[in-house]
Structure formats: C-alpha cells, structure tokens
Structure 1
Amino acid sequence: MIAFLGLGRMGVPMARRLAAAGHEVTAWNRTAKEVPGVRMAATAAEAAADADLVVTMLRDPAAVREVLAAARPRAGALVVEMSTIGPEAVARLRASLPGDVGLVDAPVLGSVGPAADGTLLVLAGGAPADLDRCREVLRVFGTVREAGPLGAGAAMKLAVMSAVVPAQVLLAETLAYAAAQGVDRAALLDVLSATPLGGLAERLRPAVLDGPPPARYALGLAAKDLTLAAHDTQTLAAAARDRLEAAVAEGLGDADLTAVIPSVAASRPSRPVRLNPSSVPAPAGAYSHAVRSGGLLFVSGQAALDEHGEVVGEGDITRQAECVFDYLERILADQGCTLDDVVNIRSHLTDMADLPGYADVRRRRITGPPPSSTTVEVPRLFRPGLLIEVDVVAALPAPVRPGGR
C-alpha cells in the first residue's frame, strides 16, 4: 500500500496515476480533496499506518519535516521524498527518521501536464536496495534517472533549476529592454528562436503574446527553489531570485512562473521584499511577518497565537516558547534559512520568572553557536495571555554581490 502525502498541483495528478496503475493509495492533504481511486485519510498518521511506501509531495523542507513527524512511518517502510527541498534538507530528514525506515529522494522535472501524462523526469537518489524497492512505482510518473546516493536527486534538481529559472527571468528582462527600445516582441522571439535560447523562446511565446497561462510551475515555488539552491558561485541565480521575490511581494506567488514577464516590464528599482509565508498564521495586525532587505531577513516578533488568533498554551511558558520557535523556523525556512543563520534574537517576557523555562526551549532549538541576544521584561504584550514574543534577524544564504543585491 502507498501513502501519498500532499495533494497540491502536482500531487493530485501523481496520486491519480498511481491509482490508475493499480496501486492501493491512501492520501492525506491539509485541506480536504477528492481524487478518483484514492482513499482519503483524516490524518497523515492514518494514511501512513499500513503503508509500505510513503510518498511526500509538499512545498518546502519545513512542511516535509512536520508532516513526516506526524505521519510516523512504520518500521520497514520506505519514504520516497519527491518535493524540492535540497540535499541538506534530505540529510536532515535522514537523521530524523528511525533507522529502520528507508529513504529515497526523488524530485521531478516537469509541471502539471507531464504529471498527468506520466512524462515527468524523476531524479532519484538513494541506496541501491531502497531504489530497487520503489523503481517500478517511480516509473508510473515518467522516466527515472538514478542520480547517485541519497541526496543526489535533490542536488541534481536544484542544479537544473539554477539554470532553467534564471534563463526565463533573463528573457523577461530582455523583453522589457526590447520594449523600451521599440522592438516588436514577436519579431524578437523569431530572432531568438534561431539562437541557443530558441527552445525556451518558443516555449514562452504564448505567455509573451497572450499573457501567462494558468499556473503550471508557480512563481513562488520557483523563488523557493532558487533560495534552496543558493551558493557562492550563483550570482545570476541570486539576481533572478530577487526578481521573483519582488514578484511574490506583488501578489504573484501563485501565478505561473511566466508572470515574471509582465512583472519585470512594470518593475521599479529594487525595494525591500515583504513576506507573509502561508506556513504560519496570518499577521495579527498591520505588519508583515518578515522583510527581506539586502543580505538580511528581519522577522517580526512571533507570539503563540493560532490561526484563529487564540492564545496557544495560556499560562504555559514551555508551550508558548515551542510555538514561537515553530513559527520562527517556518518563516526562516521559507527563505532558505534555519535558526543557525540567526545573527540577533530579541526576547520579550512578561515575567522574568519564566526565563528558565524559555531558556530551556531556546537551548534545545538553537544548538549551534548562540547569536547576539537581548532579553527584556515588559509589563504586558499585545494580547492578554501571551507570556513571550521573540523577533530575530537572520543572514540570508545567498552571497551579497559587489555593488548591492
């Protein structure tokens, strides 16, 4: 039996293909969905309870870690991680899973159409014995390329996206330049079609002439992928990521990646990017959860409020501190950071008698060299029942280029 965790744009057609191929599939999603031939479970743990294979197709490393912790795959099961989370996250995932649970990383190249048609390119990494267990299942999705040991598939996926996504941003900027010079867009695409960029130019032609299509590869996911792929050598990819983050701030995160074309055409000089990840409850007031500026990420004070604005763990400093650090980790993960990237942390307590309980949680969550820190006692916070609020500043993983970002 196969458990499929995550029914987003890609997950739905992939789960449907497994069922159509004759596999018994039980799926779970944060929001209820129906997929023909697939049994839906109320929780991730229910979906994974009897599964030999547990497939994850989720948004980012934090979501994968959280969902698999809740799913608790049984002894002897094999987790097939098909999200785009990067090799470092795969290594952390391996360390968090029990030793008797196998793991293969198998991200895919292709969008919603190939997912439905079974023509994805699956980039698989893992031990030979684990790959043997899932090879036939992976072939349901398309062509399987075995990239090497665990983490190799995730690394290959990010390497490919580090070329493909910036190339699309480059063409968006080229089209904006051409428009400023009075060059006809269709004529420009004709000329580009005779160059090494010809294939991409033709692929983008409908979006250029008719406007972006329904989302196949969401612009926000492309920005996330470039964030995960950040490396000292990748100045072009970092610039492309900044373009995409600006488009996300305009509200284009769920639009198709080709929406970057009109976004660039209407762009203004680079400004700070305001961020409100969907992985945490919406801001409780007139502020953004985080602001990205230059090489730094400024995260607003996080408090223990649930999605309904209710206090979590009223009177319990440990529960509130754990909730606050959960939110901080998710916001940092949205930008490719972890608590290890925090350079400054500022904590506000309504009672210093709670400091030992808070400090215990903080020591468990921040395990590396500690950041600079300020801790103060305040008479009250913005919502009755809150005991603590914490804000942080983190260094972003991508390099700062000469002359600014």
Structure 2
Amino acid sequence: MSPVITFLGQGRMGAPMARRLVEAGHQVTTWRRADGVPVAAAVDGADLVITMLSDPAAVREVLTAALPGLRPGATVVEMSTIGPEAVRELRALLPAEVGLVDAPVLGSVGPAADGTLTVLAGGDVRRWREILSVFGTVRECGPLGSGAAMKIAVMSALVPAQVLLAETFAYGEAHGVDRDALIDVLSGTPLGTLAERLRVPSAETRYSLAHATKDLGLGAWPGATMATAARARMQQARAAGLGERDLTAIAEHVGGGGTERQAERERERGGGGGGGGGAGRRAVPLNLPTIPATNGMYSHAVRVGDMLYVSGQAAFDEQGNVVGEGSMEEQAEHVFQVISRILADQGATFDDIAFIRTYLTDMDDRVAYGQVRRKYITGTAPASTTVEVSKLFMPGLLLEVDLIVALPES
C-alpha cells in the first residue's frame, strides 16, 4: 500500500514540493500554521511526515506540537535548512520508535516545481528514497545530520560569493566599469554563473535574503571570517527592508559600496525600506517574517553592536488574535517560541540572555509561568525582574516579556 504522507509547511518551497507528491499519486495531507488545524491531528496516522519550515525554532515548535499524533513506526523527514545541531536536538525530542532522516535540498522555487532539486540525505533513507526522488536527485551524505551539515557547508560558500560579487559590481561602478562588460568578463571565470544571476536582481523571490542570512548564521563558527562579514552585509540589507526580496537583491543594496553616490540614491528613494536604515547604522532594527508583524510603531528587536534589545513579546497570532486566552501555560509557551526564533535569527540561544523582564496581569500565575520558562532557560539564570500590572495592551493577554541579549562575538 502507498504510505500516508503529511507535509508540514506550505511556503514557497513546501507548496510546490507537496504538489509534486500528489501528482506522483501519493496520498498527502498538507498543513500550514495559518489554517489553524492542530499539528497532532494533521500527522495522525501518517507513515511519513515531511517538514519544510522556516528555521530551527519553527521545526522544533511544530514537531513538539505533533508528538501526540506521531504513531510508532512513522518517520520524520526534515527537509528545512536547520543545521546538524538542530537535527541532533530533534532526535532527542522524538520518541525512539519514530524514525528521523535529515534531507535539506539545494535549489529554489523553480526546481521545487520541476522536480530538479538535489536532496542531501542524512541517516537511513533506504525506505523513503523512491518518494524523495520525486523532488529530484537524492544524494546520500552519511549518518544522521550529515545532510544538514552538507547543506550549510554549501551555502556558506554560495551566499558569501554572491555578496562578494555585489561588492565587486559596486567597486566597478565607482571606477567607471560597465556592469554588463564586467559580467561578460566574469563569465569566462568560475564565478560566471553567479555573476549572471546578479546581472538583473530577480523580481521573483526564489531564495529570500532573510533565509540566506539565517543559513549563514547556522554555519557560524570562529574561523568563518568571510561568511561572518557577508552575514553582516546581509543583515544591513534586511534592516533596509529587503528581507523578503530574492538574495540577488544584495547587488542592488550594496550599489555604490557605501559611496556618496549610493547614499544620494538612498535619500532619493526615501531612505530604504521598512527597517529605515542600512550600512553604517549603529542601531539595526530586526523584524522577522516568521513571527506576527508589528503595527509599524516598533520593531521586534534592535541590534546595537553585540547587544540585542528585544521588545515586549506577547501571545497573539498573525491575525492579531490572542493565543491561549485564559491559559498562562499556552501564552507563555507561545511567547518563548517567538523569542527562540528571534534569538536563532541572530545566532544566539537562551543561554545568551543577560536580562529578562516579565509583566504579569496576575502574580498568582507566576508558578505556571515559571514552569514554562524553566523549559527554555535551563542554565544559569539571567538577571530578572517580574512585576504585576493592571492590564496589557490587548484584552486577554496575561503576560509580556522583554529581553536584553549578549550576542555571540561577530
């Protein structure tokens, strides 16, 4: 019998990948957060659960919610880009009787629709190789986690190379070199394919600048000097409002390489995008596309050097509805999941929190809140303040949490 498949995540990559499974004749249940269907119900009875989500925090959150519905003998194939450390955490999270394969992909939206992705598989993939081949070529990389490591290693070369080319174009522009002529010359070198990709930034978002920035963060290590510098450039572009644009927009952002001509162009365009700033700004606002948008009067977090200041986070969804109304446990869980995404975006963990402040509408809820908090803050406790307030900004909210975080050294 054909296995029952549940596909978790229907974003730019997930939707066309799930469609290919259906077109291949497989029985597929799809799930996305906006539909409001419990994850446990979506995976109930599934033989194979595929995840294609935005980041490690989202994968952990969704699979934690899925645990009650996962049947013994099922297999989770994790196809997001989350890195080998997160894969090891998932193995510890999932029951022993549930299998796990990490299988991130190389390729963007077009190859996802055409079935020409490269699937980088880690772990025992034999049972599912035929199904995964619907997405493209399956390359077995080794034991569990090796596919995730291979993906990060590849992106740690490809993404900085595109930033380098963007700066190369900016240098050429500043010195009167015609960009098309420069790309024509580069076409005869190993960088030719990437240079062609940057000739005209893609109007379609195939691989978002925000996701590329996240991927570089997952590959951060002390010796990664070039990747670290590229990530700083990407963070500036994201702060300038280009996060949801295709990665090729980095060439547009770098422009004149910080020259006065580029600054003048930015002023003519009104100073950039939603972040309101770019290169050289000391306070860099951060607004992640994976958490509910702000009302435009504040940013979710602001980075200043190696310090991160996180605005008060509360339990409401993309539609502005309170999550877990009346339940401190549910609201606290939602808040800490949002915080985990903000931290992960900046390469930080809960161990990097220097100060945490909590506002409760009823101090009698502090025990229930503390139980959830201890699930996430497991090491030495940070500096902390907890206060009771008469009400918060939205009726039904029981708590709000803000933070100061000491980020890992750049």
1:17–1:385 CA distance, 2 compared to 1 (3 A): closer
Alignment partner, residue 7 of structure 1 = 10
Quote the offset at 1:178 in angstroms. Answer: 0.9
Which residue identity does 2:195 align to in structure 1?
A
Show the counterpart of 1:240.
230
**Offset of residue 46 of structure 1:** 3.8
Aligned to 1:253: 243
1:107 Cα deviation after fit: 0.3
Task: Name stretches of at least 5 consecutive residues in structure 1 with no aligned partner.
Answer: 33-40, 401-405
Aligned twin of 2:103 = 106
Corresponding position: 1:132 with 2:126: yes
What TM-score does the superposition give when structure 1 sets the normalisation length?
A: 0.86
Q: Secondary structure at the match of 1:282?
A: coil
1:322 shift after superposition: 3.3
Deviation of 1:133 after TM superposition, in Å, equals: 1.0
Further displaced range: 215-224 or 64-73: 64-73
- Structure 2 letter corresponding to 1:75: P
For 2:18 and 2:313, locate their aligned partners in 1 and report how far apart those are by CA, in whole Å. 36
Aligned letter for 1:23? H
- Aligned position for 1:287: 298
Tell me which residue corresponds to 1:182: 176
Cα distance 1:329–1:187, how it changes in 2: closer, same or farther (>3 A)? same
Question: Which of 16, 22, 27 does residue 19 from structure 1 map onto?
Answer: 22
TM-score of the pair, normalised by structure 2:
0.85
Counterparts of 1:149-228 in structure 2 under 5 Å?
A: 149-205=143-199, 207=200, 211-228=201-218
Give the deviation of 1:55 after TM superposition. Answer: 0.9
> 1:269-348 counterparts in 2 under 5 A?
269-271=279-281, 272-283=283-294, 286-309=297-320, 311-312=322-323, 317-348=328-359
> How many residues end up aligned between the 2 structures?
384
Deviation at 1:317, TM superposition (A): 4.4
Tell me what 2:75 maps to. 78
CA contact (8 A) 1:284 1:309 kept: no
Q: Which residue matches 1:67?
A: 62
Which one-letter code corresponds to 1:188 in the other structure? Answer: L
Structure 1, 72-81 or 273-282: larger mean CA deviation: 273-282
| Structure 2: runs of 5+ lacking an equivalent | 256-261, 264-277
Residue of structure 2 equivalent to 1:393: 404
Instruction: Show structure 1 runs of 4+ deviating over 6 A.
Output: none
- SS at 2:80 equivalent: coil
Deviations 1:182-201, CA, capped at 9 Å, x for gaps: 11101111222233322322
- Structure 1 position 242, deviation (Å): 1.8
Deviation at 1:141, TM superposition (A): 1.5
Q: Tell me by how many angstroms 1:375 deviates.
A: 3.4
Amino acid in structure 2 at the alignment position of 1:58 = L
Offset at 1:324? 2.8
Residues 78, 103 of structure 2: 8 Å contact kept = yes
Q: Are the structure 2 counterparts of residues 289 and 187 from structure 1 closer, same or farther at C-alpha, using a change threshold of 3 Å? A: same
CA offset digits 1:300-326 (Å, max 9, x no partner) = 122344445455556654444334323
CA distance in 1, matches of 2:173, 2:77: 46
| 3-state secondary structure, aligned to 1:26 | strand
| Distance verdict in 2 for CA 1:42–1:317, change over 3 Å | closer
Amino acid at match of 2:279: P
* Root mean square deviation of aligned Cα: 2.5
- Measure, in 2, the Cα distance between the counterparts of 1:170 and 1:56: 32
Is the 2:107–2:118 Cα contact (8 Å) retained in structure 1? yes
Mark the CA change 1:322 to 1:142 in structure 2 (over 3 Å): closer, same or farther: closer
Whether the 8 Å CA contact 2:55–2:341 is kept in 1: the answer is no
Residue 117 (1) aligns with residue 111 (2): no
The amino acid that maps onto 1:18 is L
Contact 1:59-1:83 at 8 Å conserved across structures: yes
Asked if 1:374 is matched to 2:369, the reply is no
Partner of 1:45: 40
Describe the superposition over 1:199-255 as per-residue Cα deviations: whole angstroms up to 9, x where unpaired.
Answer: 3223333x2xxx433111111111111111111111211221122222222222221
Q: Compared with structure 1, are the counterparts of its residues 185 and 26 closer, same or farther at alpha carbon in structure 2 (3 Å cutoff)?
A: same
1:265-289 CA distance string (max 9 Å, x none): 1465322321222333333672111
* Residues 284/179 of structure 1: CA separation in 2 closer, same or farther (3 Å cut): closer
Q: 1:350 Cα shift?
A: 4.9
Corresponding residue SS for 1:246: helix
Moved more, 355-364 or 112-121: 355-364
Question: Match for residue 262 of structure 1?
Answer: 252
Q: Structure 1 residues 117, 229: closer, same or farther in 2, change over 3 A?
A: same
